[in-house]
């Protein structure tokens, strides 16, 4: 709406004229009505300026500890305040009605508060409804991928690591295309993406990981009637570099995922099932979780059950060198079940407090993904920690 402010007085006087002539409605009421209309027009004008640029942010602060030093999500017997603490700022510039630039900067405690751009893209919606985005984007593999760090928009203290930790990168550089098919009561969104990424993990206990991910591409479809949501995704990429002390030479990795959620306003259910398959010796995994929650005014208690297991233990077991087979099996085979009980409390406007207890168990004859277990398992065949109880107290806010 391009309303010229200079024309306002003229518009008002023209509009006032008939009201002065017409005596059947009280002048006072008419003036009051016109004042409202002027205010509304002014509001629209201010809004159109404010529409050009939006600034938003989110912040999370977390206390994590555990009943032992197994190290799940960085949790040990001593309190940790940085692992799940983060702050993000987002600027959205509306270049035109259909074109915008988005920049989201993140600082995470687990990355020593280094500033990183998680989103940095230009998007354009064509007249036919197709939306294209280019730049740095989130890899849309999981249901919560797009807002992985925005704890306020999630029911739980953190997305279950059994599923979400199986893909060690969350953004890529490239392009995506999305289209919304609108039905009477529902929307189907189809999104295709392609680009490249990398994984750099510095490890204290095992070898560093340094992988280039090329030919990253995938497609997902998500249907929602705003109560039910169903989602399916496929993704693939080619890995090159080193991981877990292994040379990785152009090995293809594929990802499959199914997800669903139900939210009728009081009852909440979310479930995801995913698989990762990598050529060669790196671990293939299957994982899933189910979260159930129920809102009682500002309180949302929830329970989660999640598991992960490697599905290609036989590949590593079949390595002809027994010592190497044992080492790689101990390092990469994984089996774990996690049970969480938690509470989200929408304590005050824009701030949610979360309390979570997660119990990790059923490691089978693997380390359960706990790195302090690796040496004891190799030397003695026994884990140092057979289970772990992780406590989280967290606040999530948006501004």
Partner 1 sequence: MKKLLSILTLSLGVTFAANAAVVVIGNPSASDMSASEAKKAFLGKGNSSIVVYELDEGNAIRTEFHNTVTGKSDAQLKAFWSKQVFTGKGNPPATVATAAAMKAAVAGNPNAIGYIDEADVDGSVKVILKP
Interface with partner 1 (CB under 8 A): 1, 32-33, 36-37, 39-41, 43-44, 47, 54, 56, 58, 88, 90, 92, 100, 102, 104, 119, 121, 123, 133, 138, 146-147, 150, 152-153, 180, 182, 184-185, 187, 225-227, 264-265, 295, 298, 346, 349-350, 352, 398
Helix spans in the chain (H): 8-21, 27-50, 161-164, 313-317, 322-332, 374-380
Positive or negative torsion for Cα 301, 83, 151, 179: negative
Cβ closest to partner 1, residue 39 vs residue 111:
39
Cβ closest to partner 1, residue 51 vs residue 382:
51
Cβ closest to partner 1, residue 225 vs residue 382:
225
Alpha-carbon distance values, 358 to 232, 269, 292, 294 (Å): 27, 18, 15, 18
Shortest Cβ distance from residue 38 to partner 1 (Å)?
9
Cβ closest to partner 1, residue 146 vs residue 279:
146
* Helix/strand/coil for 38: helix
Taking Cα atoms as reference points, which of 163, 169, 191, 195 lies closest to residue 178?
191
Cα–Cα dist 340/292, whole Å: 10
Cα–Cα dist 290/160, whole Å: 9
Backbone torsions φ then ψ of 308, nearest 5 degrees: -140, 145
Shortest Cβ distance from residue 183 to partner 1 (Å)?
10
Cβ closest to partner 1, residue 180 vs residue 382:
180
Shortest Cβ distance from residue 112 to partner 1 (Å)?
23
Report the run of H or E that residue 166 belongs to, with start and end. Answer: none
Shortest Cβ distance from residue 276 to partner 1 (Å)?
23
Residues 6+ apart with CB under 8 A from 215: 194, 196, 236, 237, 238
Quote the DSSP letter at residue 110.
G
Shortest Cβ distance from residue 145 to partner 1 (Å)?
9
Cβ closest to partner 1, residue 47 vs residue 252:
47
Contact 10, 38 (CB under 8 A): no
Cβ closest to partner 1, residue 296 vs residue 318:
296
Shortest Cβ distance from residue 358 to partner 1 (Å)?
22
Shortest Cβ distance from residue 103 to partner 1 (Å)?
10
Helix spans in 158-255 (H): 161-164
Cβ closest to partner 1, residue 216 vs residue 352:
352
Quote the DSSP letter at residue 150.
-
Shortest Cβ distance from residue 153 to partner 1 (Å)?
4
């Amino acid at each position: 709406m391009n309303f010229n402010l200079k024309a306002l007085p003229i518009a008002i006087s023209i509009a006032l004229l008939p009201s002065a002539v017409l005596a059947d409605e009280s002048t006072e009421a008419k003036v009051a009505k016109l004042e409202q209309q002027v205010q509304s027009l002014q509001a629209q004008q201010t809004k159109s300026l404010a529409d050009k640029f939006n600034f938003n942010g989110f912040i999370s602060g977390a206390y994590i500890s555990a009943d032992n030093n197994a190290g799940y999500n960085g949790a040990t017997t001593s309190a940790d305040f940085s692992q799940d603490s983060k702050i993000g700022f987002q600027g959205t510039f509306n270049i035109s009605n259909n074109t915008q630039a988005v920049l989201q900067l993140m600082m995470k405690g687990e990355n020593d508060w280094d500033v990183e751009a998680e989103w940095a893209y230009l998007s354009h919606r064509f007249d036919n409804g197709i939306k294209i985005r280019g730049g740095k984007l989130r890899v849309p593999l999981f249901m919560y991928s797009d807002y992985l760090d925005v704890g306020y928009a999630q029911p739980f203290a953190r997305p279950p690591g059994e599923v979400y930790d199986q893909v060690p990168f969350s953004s890529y550089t490239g392009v995506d295309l999305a289209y919304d098919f609108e039905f009477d009561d529902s929307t189907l969104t189809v999104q295709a993406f392609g680009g490249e990424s990398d994984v750099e993990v510095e490890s204290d206990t095992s070898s560093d990981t340094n992988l280039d991910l090329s030919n990253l591409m995938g497609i997902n479809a998500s249907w929602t009637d705003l109560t039910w949501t169903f989602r399916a995704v496929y993704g693939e990429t080619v890995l090159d570099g080193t991981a877990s002390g292994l040379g990785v030479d152009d090995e293809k990795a594929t990802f499959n995922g199914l997800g669903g959620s139900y939210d009728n306003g009081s009852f909440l259910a979310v479930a995801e099932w995913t698989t990762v398959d990598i050529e060669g010796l790196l671990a293939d995994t299957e994982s899933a979780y189910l979260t159930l929650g129920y809102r009682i005014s500002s309180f949302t208690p929830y329970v989660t059950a999640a598991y992960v297991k490697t599905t290609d233990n036989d590949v590593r077991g079949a390595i002809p060198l027994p010592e190497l087979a044992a080492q790689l099996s101990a390092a990469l085979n994984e089996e774990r079940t996690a049970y969480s009980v938690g509470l989200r409390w929408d304590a005050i406007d824009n701030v949610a407090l979360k309390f979570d207890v997660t119990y990790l168990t059923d490691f089978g004859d693997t380390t359960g993904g706990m790195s302090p277990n690796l040496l004891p398992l190799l030397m003695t065949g026994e884990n140092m920690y057979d289970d772990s109880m992780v406590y989280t107290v967290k606040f999530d806010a948006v501004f």
